[in-house]
């Protein structure tokens, strides 16, 4: 069974938003910094993807249509 | 989908009135075609060849590229060399989700195993196999993710066209998986390729809803609604919500049909469904949609109308619907309605950030926007990242979004892993799964379809299972299972009586 904490309810969404609202009141710089760290760690994870030739990668995916 | 063993005509003899004809129970199923490609090779590798490499172990075991698994699902190679996984019958959205995610995991294992074998060959020692749970390749060939819903037969094709189609077209504003077409990010993967509304064909043309009549159940009582207009989603929330909201709309339709008030639900009938589908694809929630009655509403307003009607229906039938979804750990009628309303509210506020944690197209838009804020990004790079998001074998982006808690997940790792070998509860998939497990253990040759179990060797035996809601073995199933048990326990093969 998924834990209660995994459920997103509109209530939980509101809490998240109000947390963000508090964060933005504390200083938008902090929130922006957190977002940017987040993006950095995602960019680290996808580094191998970004290193490959994008056009070659895209063009290698050609196959017949399905349903 | 090749129907190698369409057993529709054999069913009549066993047909019994279903105990679910008068309630809101439903069977859910998802069929997903995957796309394949190989990078890191000097000479291009044909998609068909990769798919065959993936299926080599299956062919060795099943002597066919079409097989059923011990979790009740079907695994096969479809037209255009697409590996395809069709979930077993599920009685609630969460079970359909976990069985579908089990399919992703099974496909991933097959792809990585094939990759290992490719890399053993010096000519392809750096090969990387990509297995895309998306709906289009780079040349604009499209393939599908189809949803199946068991629907009471008294819901006619015209009701599906006038009532359900406007819902299915507009639900894409929160279930769309998004596709970067080289210039812009569209809301859906699939809408650009759909060219008909309701038809019985799937390969010559691409309708939104397929009317091919194969209920895999008592045909007197049920039809199988085959929805083609949906996207292949990575978002678990989107998979749940496309099944769950469609279920509520179908329940409201069935209730109205029982009270002869079905026509009241056709107020949203569209003037031009194909045009509406393209408008949603381009403009999302704010797309202007012309109705058959001459009015024009936004996609969001049409969704609000369906939500209001679902809520009105639930105000008198919530308990009955709750009862049919009782095994779903997440999707109670209240949860579905709340999530639905929340998504529409966020769309109304144009709060893409809030949506991006659960909606595929919004996640892509947020990520692409932030990437572009760091400097210009070539269109080919965005196209590549869009594809990588859907690569279940070697993709990095979607997993990264999940592991950093950006994308929300609902099924645990344990639940998915269990679902790779456990069929959904309270359905005939339980019987199919047990049959496959026992036949494999006994080294017997077998074959199945959705309504039949067949033993081919050492003896020929058949069992028909007509009721998808029943996990109780009938006489034929008991007979075949007794024989398999007997076979496993003995070296010499004795024929059962």
Interchain contact, B387 vs A60, CB within 8 Å: no
Would you state the pLDDT for residue B492? Answer: 45
Domains of chain B, residue spans: 8-105+130-418, 428-489
Would you state the pLDDT for residue B210? Answer: 86
Query: Which residue from B minimizes the CA distance to A46?
Result: B396
Q: What is the pTM (predicted TM-score) of this model?
A: 0.91
Is A51 within 8 Å of chain B by CB?
A: no
Question: For chain B, what percentages of helix, strand and coil (3-state, to nearest 5) are there?
Answer: 45, 15, 35
Name the residue among B201, B206, B177, B207 with its Cα closest to residue B189. B177
Give burial (CB, 10 Å; 0-12/13-18/19+) of B436.
buried
Higher pLDDT, B77 or A18: B77
* Exposure string for B52-85, b = 16+ CB within 10 A, e = fewer: bbbbeebeeebeebbbbbbbbbbbbbbbbbbbbb
Contacting residues for B303 by C-beta, under 8 A, at least 6 apart: B167, B170, B171, B173, B174, B285, B344
d(CA B106, CA B295): 48
pLDDT in tens, A30-40: 555 666 668 88
Task: Report the C-alpha dihedral over residues B297, B303, B307, B312, rounded to 10 degrees.
Answer: 30
Would you state the pLDDT for residue B204? Answer: 66
* Two structure tokens written together for B487: 């076979």
Is A54 within 8 Å of chain B by CB?
A: yes
Q: Are B295 and B332 in contact (CB under 8 A)?
A: no
* Exposure string for B257-268, b = 16+ CB within 10 A, e = fewer: beeeebeebbbb
Interchain contact, A1 vs B384, CB within 8 Å: no
Query: Which residue from A minimizes the CA distance to B203?
Result: A67
Domains of chain A, residue spans: 21-60
DSSP B163: I
Would you state the pLDDT for residue A35? Answer: 66
Query: Which residue from B minimizes the CA distance to A40?
Result: B371
* Two structure tokens written together for B387: 């594809």
Interchain contact, B82 vs A7, CB within 8 Å: no
d(CA B77, CA B326): 35
Would you state the pLDDT for residue B494? Answer: 47
d(CA A54, CA B301): 39
- Interface predicted TM-score (ipTM): 0.89
Strands B66-68 and B452-457: unpaired
Would you state the pLDDT for residue A5? Answer: 37
Average pLDDT of adjacent 10-residue blocks, chain B of 497 residues: 40 69 95 96 90 94 93 91 96 98 98 97 95 95 94 93 97 98 96 84 76 86 93 98 98 97 96 97 98 98 98 97 95 98 98 97 96 93 98 98 95 98 98 97 94 95 96 97 88 45
What's domain B8-105+130-418's architecture?
A: 2-Layer Sandwich (3.30)
Name the residue among B180, B175, B164, B170 with its Cα closest to residue B285. B170
Best residue in B80, B82, B128, B138 to probe A by mutation, most A CBs within 10 Å? B138
Is residue B28 left, alpha or beta, with left meaning phi > 0 and alpha meaning psi from -120 to 50? beta
Is B138 within 8 Å of chain A by CB?
A: yes
In this prediction, residue A6 has a pLDDT band, given cuts at 50, 70 and 90, of very low
B78 as an active site residue: the answer is yes
């Amino acid at each position: 069974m998924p834990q209660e904490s995994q459920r997103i309810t509109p209530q939980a969404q509101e809490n998240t938003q109000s947390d963000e609202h508090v964060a933005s009141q504390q200083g938008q710089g902090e929130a922006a910094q957190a977002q940017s760290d987040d993006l950095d760690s995602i960019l680290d994870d996808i580094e191998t993807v970004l290193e490959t030739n994008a056009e070659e990668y895209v063009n290698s995916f050609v196959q017949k249509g399905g349903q | 989908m090749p129907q190698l063993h369409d057993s529709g005509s054999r069913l009549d003899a066993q047909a019994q009135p279903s105990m679910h004809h008068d309630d809101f129970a439903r069977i859910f199923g998802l069929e997903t075609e995957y796309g394949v490609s190989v990078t890191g090779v000097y000479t291009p590798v044909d998609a068909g060849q990769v798919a065959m490499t993936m299926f080599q172990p299956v062919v060795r075991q099943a002597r066919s590229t079409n097989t059923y698994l011990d979790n009740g699902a079907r695994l096969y190679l479809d037209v255009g060399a697409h590996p395809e996984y069709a979930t077993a019958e599920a009685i609630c959205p969460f079970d359909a989700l976990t069985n579908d995610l089990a399919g992703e995991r099974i496909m991933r294992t097959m792809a990585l195993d094939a990759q290992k074998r490719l890399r053993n060959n010096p000519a392809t020692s750096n090969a990387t196999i990509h297995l895309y749970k998306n709906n289009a390749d780079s040349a604009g060939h499209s393939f599908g993710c189809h949803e199946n819903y068991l629907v009471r037969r008294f819901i006619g094709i015209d009701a599906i066209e006038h009532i359900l189609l406007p819902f299915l077209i507009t639900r894409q504003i929160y279930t769309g998986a998004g596709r970067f077409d080289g210039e812009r990010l569209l809301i859906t993967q699939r809408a650009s390729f759909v060219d008909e509304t309701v038809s019985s064909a799937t390969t010559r043309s691409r309708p939104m809803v397929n009317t091919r009549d194969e209920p895999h159940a008592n045909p007197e009582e049920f039809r199988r609604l085959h929805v083609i207009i949906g996207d292949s989603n990575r978002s678990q929330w989107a998979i749940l919500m496309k099944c769950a909201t469609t279920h509520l709309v179908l329940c409201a339709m069935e209730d109205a049909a029982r009270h002869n008030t079905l026509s009241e639900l056709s107020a949203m009938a569209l003037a031009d469904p194909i045009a509406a589908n393209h408008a949603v694809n381009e403009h999302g929630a704010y797309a202007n949609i012309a109705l058959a009655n001459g009015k024009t509403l936004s996609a969001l307003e049409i969704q609000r109308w369906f939500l209001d009607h679902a809520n009105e229906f639930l105000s008198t039938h919530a308990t009955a619907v709750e009862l049919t979804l009782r095994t779903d750990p997440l999707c109670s009628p209240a949860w579905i309605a709340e999530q639905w309303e929340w998504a529409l509210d966020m769309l109304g506020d144009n709060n893409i950030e809030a949506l991006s944690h659960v909606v595929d197209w919004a996640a892509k838009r947020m990520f692409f926007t932030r990437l572009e804020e760091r400097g210009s990004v070539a269109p080919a790079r965005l196209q590549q990242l869009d594809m990588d998001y859907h690569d279940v074998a070697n993709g990095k982006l979607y997993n990264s979004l999940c592991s950093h808690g950006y994308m929300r997940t609902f099924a645990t790792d344990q639940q998915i892993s269990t679902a790779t070998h456990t069929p959904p509860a309270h359905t005939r998939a339980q019987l199919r799964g047990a049959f496959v497990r026992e036949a494999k253990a006994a080294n017997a040759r077998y074959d199945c379809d959705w309504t039949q179990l067949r033993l081919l060797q050492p003896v020929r035996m058949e069992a028909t299972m007509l009721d998808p809601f029943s996990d109780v073995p009938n006489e034929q199933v008991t007979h075949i299972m007794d024989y398999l048990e007997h076979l496993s326990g003995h070296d010499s093969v004795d024929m059962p009586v």
